[in-house]
Amino acid sequence: MTRRRLLAAVPPVVVAATGARAALGGDGSYEATHMHGHHGIVGHAAMVGGSAPAPGGPHDLDGLLEPPPAQPHRPGRLREYHLSAIDRTIEIAPGVFFPGWTYNGTIPGPVIRATQDDLLRVTFTNGGSHPHTIHFHGIHPANMDGVFEIVDPGATFTYEFPARPYGMQLYHCHATPLKKHIHKGLYGAFIIDPPEPRKPARELVMVLNGYDTDGDGENNFYTVNGLTFYYAKYPIRVRRSETLRIYLANLTEFDLINSFHLHGDFFRYYPTGSSDQFEYTDTVMLCQGQRGIIEIDFANTGRFMFHAHQSEFTDLGWMGFFDVVE
Amino acid sequence: MAEAAAERRGGERWRLLALVPVAALVAAVTLFSTVGDSLTGLVGESPPPRDEFNIRRVVLHPGEIRIRVTNPQREDLTIATVTVDDAIVGYHLDGPRTLGRLRSSTIVIPYDWVEGEPLAVGVTSSTGIQTTHAIPAAVATPGVTGARVLGLALIGLLVGVLPIALGLLWLPSLRRARPEWLAAFMALTGGLLSFLAVEALSEALDLQAGLPGGFGGPGLVLLGVAASYVGITVLSRRLRGAGRAAGRAAEGPLRGLALATLIAVGIGLHNFGEGLAIGTSFALGELALGSFLIVGFMVHNVTEGLGIATPIADQRRDVGVARLALLAVVAGFPAVLGAWLGGFVTSDVLAVIFFAVAAGAALEVVVEVGRFVARRAPGGLTSPWSLGGFFAGVAIMYVTGILA
């Protein structure tokens, strides 16, 4: 191996190591990612520190990206989840620490999944410093709506209702001030599978969000699944031979809309995922709280970008790559 | 003898006793710094730091932006993300990433900026606080070249030396003027110097307000004003001493060539500030403003030549052309030095000090001129000639100042 080749092989390793430290919320993790800025690089690679993107990465967002598997339809089956509100500071961009309010320590919170007609039981403990709730989208009794049943710090509340209708739903805190409680990070994806299983596919979850780190009512960063440029640094490896299904939700505060745009291909978009109706497109626009299901059958292999088709959001962190292999 | 010695010993004891408050203060400070936190805790919790950077300078080179940032606060401040026009960009640092109080670092960004268009840079701290700095129109920051050194020198000469030399050409006419008129012109000099003093003071305070808190506050301006006032006072004593040696009136106000020299020095210090303003505006890419300033300052400064000529007209002895040329250089050449300094080294702290020095010098010369007018003018300071001259001086500066 020549010296030149050896040097070429180094950057991804460095990036992976620093990314792992970022996951631990360790200090100084930005050093390597930004100190390697090369002169003359002004393309998209410069945004992530000038290092060559490498598929894989530290896998610290896998829990948010990859949902638990769908279960066959069995009405009345109990599905239990435990959610805790936790105040936690998260490194949302290299070296930038955001004092977040989280469900189970991550922004967005964990993916909740049930099949239609399952009995969903979510035990919620408020370990934070402010009153919170969980408000689920879907069909449920009024007293399970997370609006009037405020859960004080230290208290517990159990939400119990049959999961319906099928589709891509979401959940978020509904304590006031609403804007503050959502933008601080209290939201997550909630998938309800149809009685008739969807056709097999590689499944991913993408929650779109933003962070206003200086309190001026405007976002300083935009991300998918909580960390800026994460999938630009660590492209998501997918197969051309396999359908890719993305459960997409927009929980961006302060801005009216967010969007998803795929390069080099088209996809089927099922609004809210609650019917067979779809649109064949490469760009969808979502208001806050809007969500849907995307199904992609890649025509080509290679590296394809996906991002918000609002250039500002792209430039401020909401951008990534699919690394499509055979 | 013995009494005196005892008194001296007693004096030494008193000197020792004078140290007691100092020692007590040291003890109190030590005690407070050990338990101080719990004491301030009784009052309430301190708010978190603002975490805003002080963006000192943005330098644009082809394909590159360099941002000089300083930490103005007591707590450490860490550079995390950098944006240009609301887009996150890659960068590297020339200096530390975590800045202690008043420490600086330079952020170097490879960036293909667009000539003539607005540009906004943002520096975000590790706590997510973004400090932005807007540039109205992006222009490459010039480097040090022979042509620029020459160009700035020529501008300095145009603004400083030339108009003052032109103003000195009034000397023959002034010599034929009646004493009342001469007094009026001296008062006019006092008026225009008062105007310059106020202008320089306001400039110094404005610039000081933009500095990080650690750089002295308004006290820095006071220091500059006082130091230059005292300096010019010493200079006026020297000039008076030289007059005495020449065998003229030992007492009384400074007059004739000596007063003209003092006025030239005061005006020279002010013109240094004017040169600084012109050089800086060129350095920051505000070229149009620079050209406009030049015309304004030229008109403004012709009257300064008149101010220097008036006391010379008052004395009987003739003054050679070389002497007059020297006065024009003393009053005008600092504009060249200022233009160089402003054009190549932009330092807010230096600018504050220079403007403060200019204000102090102008104030002192106003006092000297006032003494002269009080003694020499028919009717003294409150005669219509003196008052009219003073207000005419202020008015002329105000009107020509609108041009600059």
Min Cα separation A10/chain B (Å): 19
Residue A276 Cα, gap to closest chain B Cα (Å): 38
SS3 of residue A276 by DSSP: coil
Query: CB-side exposure of B383: number of CA atoms within 13 Å?
Result: 21
The confidence band for B251, taking pLDDT boundaries of 50, 70 and 90, is low
Domain ranges in chain B are 54-135, 146-403
Which of A172-186, A284-298, A310-324, B18-32 bottoms out in mean pLDDT, i.e. has the lowest? B18-32
Measure A108 CA to nearest chain B CA, in Å.
Answer: 19
Distance (Å, rounded) from C-alpha B104 to C-alpha B86?
Answer: 23
- Answer yes or no: is the ipTM higher than 0.85: no
Mean pLDDT of chain B: 83
In B44-145, which ranges are continuous DSSP H helix? none
Closest CA to B347 of B179, B202, B207, B159: B207
Instruction: Flag if B88 and A31 touch (Cβ within 8 Å).
Output: no
pLDDT mean over B282-298: 66
Task: Tell me which DSSP letter residue B90 carries.
Answer: -
The pLDDT value recorded for residue A21 is: 33
Backbone angles phi, psi at B214, to 5 degrees: -70, -15
Residue of B nearest to A93 (CA): B81
Which of A40, A47, A214 lies nearest to residue B88, judging by beta carbons?
A47
Quick one: DSSP state of residue B249? -
| Mutation site, B126, B129, B131, interface A, largest A CB count within 10 A | B126
Using an 8 Å CB-CB cutoff, list chain A residues near B87.
47, 312, 315-316
Return the residue matching tokens 């359908």: A243
Spell out which residues of chain B touch residue A40, defining contact as CB-CB under 8 Å. Answer: 63, 110
Q: Could you read off the pLDDT of A102-121 as tens digits, one per residue? A: 999 999 999 999 999 999 99
Does residue A53 carry a pLDDT above 60? no
* Lowest mean pLDDT, pick from A124-133, A168-177, B88-97, B379-388: B379-388
Give me the pLDDT at residue B2, please.
54
Question: How deeply is A105 buried, as exposed, middle or buried, from its count of CB atoms within 10 A (0-12, 13-18, 19+)?
Answer: middle
- Residue B387 identity: L
pLDDT digits (tens, 9 = 90+) for B104-147: 999 999 999 998 889 999 999 999 999 999 988 888 877 778 88
The predicted pLDDT at position A143 comes to: 95
Which residues of chain A are within 8 Å of residue B123 when distances are taken between CB atoms? none
Comparing A217 with B296, the larger pLDDT belongs to A217
Beta carbons within 8 Å of A270's beta carbon, 6+ residues apart? A276, A277, A278, A292, A293, A294, A295
Q: Which of B277, B154, B147 is nearest to B206 (CA)?
A: B277
- Do B109 and B123 meet the contact criterion of CB atoms below 8 Å apart? no
Interstrand relation of B98-99 and A167-172 (parallel, antiparallel or unpaired): unpaired
CATH number of A202-325: 2.60.40.420
* Mean pLDDT of chain A, nearest integer: 85
Model confidence pLDDT, tens digit, residues A245-269: 999 999 999 998 999 999 999 999 9
CA-nearest residue of chain B to A33? Answer: B90
Q: How confident is the model at residue B15 (pLDDT cuts 50, 70, 90)?
A: confident
- The CATH architecture that domain B54-135 belongs to is Sandwich (2.60)
Task: Work out whether the CA dihedral B200, B202, B207, B212 comes out positive or negative.
Answer: positive
The percent of residues in chain B predicted with pLDDT above 70, rounded, is 88
- Which residues sit opposite A303 in a β-bridge? A323
The chain A residue lying nearest B78, using CA atoms, is A95
For B88-102, the pLDDT digits (tens) are: 999 999 999 999 988
Sign of the alpha-carbon torsion through A23, A26, A30, A32: negative
What's the pTM?
A: 0.74
User: Alpha-carbon distance B381 to B391, whole Å?
Assistant: 12
Whether residue A97 and residue B128 make contact (CB cut-off 8 A), yes or no, is: yes
Please say if the pLDDT value at position A288 is more than 70: yes
Contact A101, A130 (CB under 8 A): yes
Enclosing H/E stretch for A1: none
Rounded Cα distance, A193 and A71, in Å: 8
- B78 inside 8 A of chain A by CB: yes
Bigger pLDDT: B129 or B304? B129
Per-residue pLDDT averaged across A185-192, rounded? 97
Helix (H, G, I), strand (E, B) or coil at A96: strand
Whether A41 shows a pLDDT value over 60: the answer reads no
The stretch B325-340 carries a mean pLDDT of: 91
Overall average pLDDT of the A55-60 stretch: 68
**Domain at A62-193: CATH code:** 2.60.40.420
Per domain, the residue ranges of chain A are 3-47, 62-193, 202-325
Establish if B10 touches chain A: CB-CB under 8 angstroms.
no
